[in-house]
């Protein structure tokens, strides 16, 4: 099985990856900051479900086929890019159109009410789709995972274990992000702050989509 040294090295790599600000960070912070705590945890659960799927698929060698096939990788890349641009625009465009009264009403909406964006399951779907439509996650696991699975070890069990290490780190960091966002909730519920938050988050998510589309 995997040695403690290998586990420690893998934990260091995914720990640094987790702490690097990116799409997941923006999505979790924005969801929690506007008061959707259950939905924020749904997003976290969806992202980590996707991480587990990538880990298992990589252990089975399926993601290696994906990255080896230029057509399959390109299709997934464009699908992911379109989804991110669409999601970013859904956040950004209303923020550009809203005025103070409408924003205040939105800020006062009950947590996880339908108009506030749904609850845990809605967040889980968004987190899962965002993760699974990111071919770079698959490429990362294809490049990194085999290096930490010893020859002769059961690949699926070892790959799942390593993915779970990643999930533990990412979930712990997500808890910190959610706590931070909740601490600032009163400030971020103000109309002007909410407008800035949505504009920044929508721009960041859409930019990730454009970057993914233009990537190799």
* 0.85 exceeded by pTM: no
Phi, then psi, of 117 in degrees rounded to 5: 110, 10
Which range, of 78-92, 169-183, 192-206, averages the lowest pLDDT?
A: 192-206
CA dihedral 185, 186, 190, 195 (to 10 degrees): -10
Instruction: Give the list of residues 6+ apart from residue 72 with CB closer than 8 angstroms, or none.
Output: 65, 66
pLDDT of residue 208: 84
Looking at per-residue pLDDT, the higher value among 58 and 98 belongs to: 58
Report pLDDT digits (tens) over 42-68: 999 999 999 999 988 888 877 666 667
Beta carbons within 10 angstroms of residue 120's beta carbon: 18
pLDDT of residue 113: 41
Report which of 89, 111, 100, 103 is spatially closest to residue 199, judged by C-alpha positions. 89
Mean per-residue pLDDT, 193-201: 81
Evaluate whether 53 touches 127 at the Cβ level (below 8 Å): no
Looking at per-residue pLDDT, the higher value among 44 and 211 belongs to: 44
Looking at per-residue pLDDT, the higher value among 70 and 100 belongs to: 70
Here the tokens at position 65 are 């086929």
pLDDT of residue 1: 65
Distances (CA, A) of 138 to 19, 56, 89, 100, 133: 19, 10, 25, 42, 9
Instruction: Please say if the pLDDT value at position 114 is more than 60.
Output: no
Beta carbons within 10 angstroms of residue 164's beta carbon: 14
Which range, of 64-73, 75-84, 105-114, averages the lowest pLDDT?
A: 105-114
Instruction: Please say if the pLDDT value at position 194 is more than 70.
Output: yes
Residue 17: pLDDT band (50, 70, 90) is confident
């Amino acid at each position: 099985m995997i040695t403690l040294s290998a586990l420690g090295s893998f934990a260091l790599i995914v720990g640094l990856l987790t702490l690097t600000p990116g799409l997941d960070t923006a999505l979790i912070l924005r969801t929690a900051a506007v008061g959707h705590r259950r939905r924020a945890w749904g997003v976290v659960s969806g992202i980590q479900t996707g991480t587990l799927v990538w880990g298992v698929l990589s252990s089975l060698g399926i993601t290696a086929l994906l990255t080896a096939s230029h057509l399959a990788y390109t299709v997934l890349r464009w699908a992911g890019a379109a989804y991110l641009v669409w999601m970013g625009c859904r956040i950004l465009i209303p923020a550009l159109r809203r005025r103070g009264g409408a924003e205040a009403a939105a800020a006062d909406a009950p947590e996880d009410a339908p108009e506030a964006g749904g609850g845990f399951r809605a967040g889980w779907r968004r987190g899962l789709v965002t993760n699974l439509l990111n071919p770079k996650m698959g490429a990362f696991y294809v490049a990194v995972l085999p290096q930490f699975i010893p020859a002769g070890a059961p690949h699926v069990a070892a790959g799942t274990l390593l993915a779970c290490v990643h999930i533990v780190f990412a979930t712990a960091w997500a808890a910190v992000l959610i706590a931070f966002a909740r601490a600032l909730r009163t400030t971020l519920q103000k109309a002007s702050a909410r407008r800035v938050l949505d504009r920044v988050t929508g721009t960041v998510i859409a930019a990730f989509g454009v970057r993914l589309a233009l990537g190799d």
